Amino acid sequence: MREKFEKLTSTCVPLPIENVDTDQIIPARFLKATTREGFGDNLFRDWRYDKEGNKIDSFVLNNPAYSGNILVAGKNFGSGSSREHAAWAVAGYGFRAVVSSFFADIFKNNALNNCVLPVVVSEEFLQGIFDAVEADHSNTVTIDLPEQTITNNATGESEKFDINPYKKNCLMNGFDDIDYLLSKKSDIEAWEKNR
């Protein structure tokens, strides 16, 4: 049984960069593990640490002013490889939702399979969050999964977001796709016979 997702209010970590690819989220040299744990330590590794392993102060994850469970990123987040390690890194660091105006397909699936909610908002709404967080890093955002709304609490502005009802149900109840598919084994066998 996985963690359930319902309603989340949190401060945000802003990353106003477009096309953040999975090699930035988790570089390939950190993909050698055989478990799902520990990837959060290397989230955005090469933006977070220099070659000697020292923190790069200018990167947002190293700025103590910014914290929270919501990552807010520029357009086309998660492009590139299919590595689920990217979703494990985002989840492992402690993010429960990523907000952007656009996500790459595979990352979106991987996030949903790991109880990280990808929330697609309009460009204007995204900019509104960046502005609010820049003005005051203690400003919060509320994501309400049952209602499918996201609210910028600094401005009171709210937007509906899409999620397919099946995935919504999975997230709210902590089910996963494997549970579902295992329950369908006899249907699959019947389908194989008739194909």
Q: What's the closest the beta carbon of residue 188 comes to other proteins, in angstroms? A: 6
Cα–Cα distance, 76 to 102 (Å, whole number): 5
Angle 105-112/165-173 helices, nearest 10 degrees? 40
Q: Does 160 bind other proteins (CB under 8 A)?
A: no
Q: Which stretch binds other proteins (CB under 8 A): 4-12, 59-67, 70-78, 149-157?
A: 70-78
Nearer to other proteins by Cβ, of 39 and 93: the residue is 39
Residue 57 burial class via C-beta count within 10 angstroms: exposed 0-12, middle 13-18, buried 19 and up:
exposed
> Exactly one of 1, 32, 57, 162 binds other proteins (CB under 8 A); which one?
32
> Exactly one of 21, 131, 144, 147 binds other proteins (CB under 8 A); which one?
21
DSSP state of 79: B
Q: What's the closest the beta carbon of residue 131 comes to other proteins, in angstroms? A: 13
Q: Residues touching other proteins: how many (CB under 8 A)?
A: 56
Q: Which of 171, 134, 146 is nearest to 13 (CA)?
A: 134
Q: Which of 65, 63, 46 is nearest to 139 (CA)?
A: 65
Q: Does 42 bind other proteins (CB under 8 A)?
A: no
Nearer to other proteins by Cβ, of 83 and 96: the residue is 83
Q: Does 36 bind other proteins (CB under 8 A)?
A: yes
Cα–Cα distance, 117 to 112 (Å, whole number): 6
> Exactly one of 11, 109, 140, 151 binds other proteins (CB under 8 A); which one?
109
CB atoms within 10 A of CB 77: 30
Cα–Cα distance, 98 to 84 (Å, whole number): 15
CB atoms within 10 A of CB 67: 14
Nearer to other proteins by Cβ, of 57 and 182: the residue is 182
| Site of interaction with other proteins (CB under 8 A) | 16-19, 21, 23-24, 27-29, 31-36, 46, 51, 74-76, 79-85, 87, 102-106, 109-110, 113-114, 123, 164-167, 176-178, 180-182, 184-185, 187-188, 191-192, 195
